[in-house]
Structure 1
């Protein structure tokens, strides 16, 4: 009779960025869990990951290099949170049928977001797991680089990040160039990334930067006014691919 204890199956919320990749690495080195699935939320029309701007073909390429099944969750462009939660709940139904009742996230210190995730999952008898929670983001950024992960800056606030920094690697030089008010892991949404190599990948992705694009959004403020915010997006492509 075996004395081994079965690991808890878990689905990891996968944005394609460094925090997702690092959370996966932490989970794979945690004897309590087994990451059996990845899931990514994508715009129904754009087929891209939210503020990352990464196309689903790139996310699928990551999953294949990771050797983990990827589930895609599409949500409407209306921004209706009810519709978004409906899509998530439908996914939770499918996970429950597979016996998966734990969801992991790469969040580090956003308390409100963690509370929201935990409360919504608890309503469905699911449990949230946060492998990177309360890590020092400066130390985490250096550890990520030292571990051999390779990731490119794929989106950033134009107010905080220069256009020529979009599409480059997340590196020690990049960290040194950041203004003091920017979190080293971009935890406040200052920038986002796309991970293409590292210890969790069976092979690196062969990618290149096609161009840098800009997009301006209208953000409603509490005082009733509208603020315009400009973001840079890296148009990242896979070599020898139709995309």
Structure 2
């Protein structure tokens, strides 16, 4: 649905990380769409954001700080692709029934990921929007930091970046320590972040950094909300 002011009504695919958060900021700043809700897949076994490993409570606080409803799509762990697609299709059908035909993503340059999203949404007559697409990721990373966005690395792939970076704040010092082969925004899966403050939030979320563990080849650091 497009509103009388010409803005399409959309939901935003929310990973809990910096790219999704900055996509929200950009869409609001440019007026490209009106975001009606955030949508996140949640591991129903461990009550954490799928892949990022972020606590569900912190996810809820992010949605509150963004001033938006949160649509949670529960998925099992491990999650076969068939079940993932089935549950996402059901969620999209509910969104479409509410008159929303656009989904915003924080993807940056992976063509195969974009093509997959566009193809899946086309099946239910919905359109994908990519407000950060094609931006220079080094410049974008620095722009995020300069905007006041605060994020920590919640998960890293130790085959691409040092395991010791897990739990670190996403800042200029961290960018300087990344290997030359690593994308500054972690778009190739080098790392995943969790955002706790920034221009997309009405208030900062206080957190403390918990333990770091290795699971299934990835290093996860628990970022714990302080309430």
Q: TM-score range by the shorter chain?
A: over 0.9
Q: Is the deviation greater in 173-182 or in 29-38? A: 29-38
Q: Distance in 1 between matches of 2:178 and 2:166?
A: 12
Give distance in 2, aligned partners of 1:235 and 1:168.
11
How far does residue 44 in structure 1 lie from its aligned partner after superposition?
A: 2.1
Is 1:92 the counterpart of 2:92? The answer is yes
Pairing 1:1-243 to 2, within 5 Å after superposition: 5-215=5-215, 217=216, 230-240=217-227
Describe the superposition over 1:40-65 as per-residue Cα deviations: whole angstroms up to 9, x where unpaired: 01112122222211121111110001
CA radius of gyration, larger in: 1
More deviation in 184-193 or 230-239? Answer: 230-239
Q: Distance in 2 between matches of 1:77 and 1:178?
A: 30
Q: Answer yes or no: is the 8 Å Cα contact 2:7–2:31 preserved in 1.
A: yes
3-state SS of the aligned residue for 1:103? strand
Whole-Å Cα distance in 1 between the matches of residues 5 and 222 of structure 2?
44
Greater shift, 160-169 or 129-138, is seen at 160-169
Q: CA deviation at 1:31?
A: 2.2
Aligned with 1:52: secondary structure? Answer: coil
1: CA distance, partners of 2:162 / 2:78: 30
CA contact (8 A) 2:167 2:221 kept: yes
Task: Give the C-alpha shift of residue 7 in structure 1.
Answer: 2.0
Work out whether residues 157 and 163 of structure 2, in 8 Å CA contact, stay in contact via their aligned partners in 1: no
> Deviation digits for residues 139-197 of structure 1, max 9, x if unmatched?
11011111110000111012333343211210000000000111000000010000000
- Number of aligned pairs? 224
RMSD: 1.2
Task: Decide whether the 8 Å contact of 2:213 with 2:220 is kept in 1.
Answer: yes
Instruction: Identify the residue that residue 222 of structure 1 maps to in structure 2.
Output: none
Distance in 2 (CA, whole Å) between partners of 1:28 and 1:188 is 26
Say which SS state the counterpart of residue 109 (structure 2) adopts. Answer: coil
Unaligned runs of 5+ in 1: 218-229
Secondary structure, aligned partner of 1:77: coil
CA contact (8 A) 1:20 1:106 kept: yes
Q: 2: distance between equivalents of 1:186 and 1:163?
A: 14
User: For the Cα contact (< 8 Å) 2:153–2:167, is it kept in 1?
Assistant: yes
